[in-house]
């Protein structure tokens, strides 16, 4: 098994790790519900896209109805 003969510097080590940085995803604000949405996609909260309802969203159950 190969062993390194010399130690890599912190700069060289960190420069190699820099390639694995995670980029933040650019999101936009939904004009209807003000939630965060990926561009050119239906809003997962309200189901609207370009002012039209594309997906009929099921109403959320209240906590009292869930327990009953």
Q: Over range 4-22, report the average pLDDT.
A: 86
Q: pLDDT digit string (tens) for 34-51? A: 999 999 999 998 999 998
What average pLDDT is seen over the chain? 85
Element (H, E) at 53: strand 52-53
3-class SS shares of the chain: helix, strand, coil, % to 5: 25, 15, 60
Closest CA to 53 of 62, 42, 67, 63: 42
Q: Is the pTM of this model over 0.85?
A: no
Instruction: Give the Cα separation of 46 and 58 in Å (integer).
Output: 10
Instruction: Kindly tell me if the per-residue pLDDT of 66 is higher than 90.
Output: no
- What tokens appear for 16 in the block? 């190699």
Q: For residue 68, what pLDDT is reported?
A: 58
List own/partner pairs for 55-62 with CB under 8 A and 24 or more apart: none
């Amino acid at each position: 098994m190969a062993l390194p003969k010399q130690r890599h510097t912190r700069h060289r080590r960190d420069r190699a790790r820099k390639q694995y940085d995670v980029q933040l995803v650019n999101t936009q604000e939904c004009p209807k519900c003000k939630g965060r949405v990926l561009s050119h996609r239906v809003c997962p909260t309200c189901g609207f896209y370009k002012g039209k309802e594309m997906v009929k969203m099921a109403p959320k159950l209240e906590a009292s109805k869930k327990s009953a």
